[in-house]
Every structure is written in C-alpha cells, then in structure tokens.
C-alpha cells in the first residue's frame, strides 16, 4: 500500500530576483497547485493548472492563500478526497531542509510521506520524472533535506530544466551549471516550461491518489 502523502514541498530561492529562474520551478509547481480549483473527482489537474503556469513561473501569482511560518510558507491543498499541505521553504535553496525538518517534527510526519518537487538538469528539458530515494545529483536543496529530515526515502518529482547547450560558454565554465539554473527560461522555451509545470502538478496528484507505481508508469516512459 502506498503511504499517505501529507506534504508536498516545492523548492526554490526566495526573493523577486529569483522569480522565473530554472531553479525555482519547484516553487512554480506548488504555486499553481495552490491557485487552481479542482473537481471533486480529482481529474483534469493538468488542464486546470496549465492557464496558471506562466504566472506561477514568473512568481506573479502572489502570496494570497499562503501562511507564513518560521522559515517557510504553508497552504492547504485538497483534490477530491485527498488533502495535503503545500510547503515553500523561504530559506535559500541550500538550507531547504532546516524549515522542513521543523515542520515534519512538529507534525510528526516521516520523510517517506513527503513529495519534493525540484528542478533537474539530468533529464531533458520539458520532461517530468518520478523517483524515490537515491542520490541528490549535486542538488543542494535535496542534500539539505536528506541530511536534516531523516534520510533519502522521499518521493522526488524531477522537473527537467536541461543543461547549457554544447558549445555555449556556460557548458565549459566552472560555475556554468549554477549560472544556468539561476537564469530564466528563454522566450522560445516558455510555452514548454508552462506545459511542464502543469504536467508536474498532475504528477504530484497522481502519486497521491493512484499510487507511486501508476504515476511512474505514466511519467517515466
């Protein structure tokens, strides 16, 4: 039996200078989930979230509906008969585990009941993949969560933001990956990024309502 997923965490950096960046795609996904309205049967998540995705990526959906806690923002999420809590750590990315650890300890929720949505450079741009456990692939937000929140046994919704194109200065620079993920999407990428956010929203809900295996079978093709 799949665990009950009580918490969905979107990763990003706080502050307007980071709005719209690849590294903040996790924030965009939970922002879209918070702002959407879902039918009772929980269907049509991708359709409901798609019109919100552009504003979610740009950070322009605002903070309405979010409650500010110590180090994170919190909002309820209800889709059909499933309810959960959305979390946005507002520490910087490399300290994401600190407020999440406090939240999980207070609520007595194990890390195995958490879904973390984050940017991923190691899968193609525009794709969404789901995995549990395993390494963090150099992602500082995941490293912080694994170190401080009870291990690696949490679900990751990996949102593909791609890598610097071959031959570009960033592909050769020592800090090229860090610069890449802190840059915004190119204009020609925007439509695909919005579709990807809506797809990631659907992945989150499918994991919770239909189980991890069903969601992996759909999204990990």
What is the per-residue pLDDT across 189-213, written as a single tens digit (0 to 9) for each?
Answer: 999 999 999 999 999 999 999 999 9
Total structural domains within the chain: 1
Q: Which residues constitute the domain of residue 180? A: 7-219
How far apart (Å, rounded) are the C-alpha atoms in residues 91 and 88?
9
Half-sphere exposure of 60 (CA within 13 A, CB side): 7
Which residues are CB-neighbours of 78 under 8 A, at least 6 positions away?
Answer: 38, 84
pLDDT of residue 1: 40
pLDDT of residue 76: 96
Does 207 map to a domain?
Answer: yes
Does 1 map to a domain?
Answer: no
Does 185 map to a domain?
Answer: yes
> Contact 17/104 with Cβ under 8 angstroms?
no
Does 91 map to a domain?
Answer: yes
Does 44 map to a domain?
Answer: yes
pLDDT of residue 3: 67
Does 71 map to a domain?
Answer: yes
CATH number at residue 203: 3.40.50.1470
Of 6, 23, 118, 139, which residue is the catalytic one?
23
Please state, for a pLDDT cut of 70, what percent of the chain lies above it: 98
Does 2 map to a domain?
Answer: no
pLDDT of residue 197: 98
Known catalytic membership, residue 23: yes
- Which residues does residue 78 pair with via DSSP β-bridges, in sequence order? 83
Does 86 map to a domain?
Answer: yes
3-class DSSP assignment, residue 135: coil
């Amino acid at each position: 039996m799949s665990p009950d997923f009580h918490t969905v965490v979107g990763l990003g950096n706080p502050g307007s200078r980071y709005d719209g960046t690849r590294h903040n795609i996790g924030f965009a996904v939970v922002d879209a989930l918070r702002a959407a309205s879902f039918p009772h049967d929980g269907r049509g998540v991708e359709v409901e979230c798609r019109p919100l995705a552009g504003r979610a990526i740009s950070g322009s959906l605002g903070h309405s509906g979010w409650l500010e806690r110590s180090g994170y923002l919190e909002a309820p999420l209800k889709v059909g008969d499933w309810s959960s809590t959305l979390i946005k750590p507002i520490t910087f990315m490399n300290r994401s585990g600190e407020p999440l650890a406090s939240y999980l300890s207070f609520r007595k929720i194990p890390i195995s009941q958490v879904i973390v949505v984050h940017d991923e450079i190691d899968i193609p741009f525009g794709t969404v993949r789901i995995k549990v456990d395993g390494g963090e692939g150099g992602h500082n937000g995941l490293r912080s969560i694994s170190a401080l929140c009870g291990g690696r046994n949490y679900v990751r919704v990996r949102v593909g933001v791609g890598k610097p194109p071959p031959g570009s200065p960033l592909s050769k620079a020592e800090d090229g990956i860090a610069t890449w993920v802190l840059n915004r999407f190119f204009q020609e990428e925007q439509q695909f990024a919005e579709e990807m956010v809506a797809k990631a929203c659907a992945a989150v809900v499918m994991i919770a309502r239909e189980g991890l295996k069903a969601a992996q079978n759909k999204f990990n093709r």
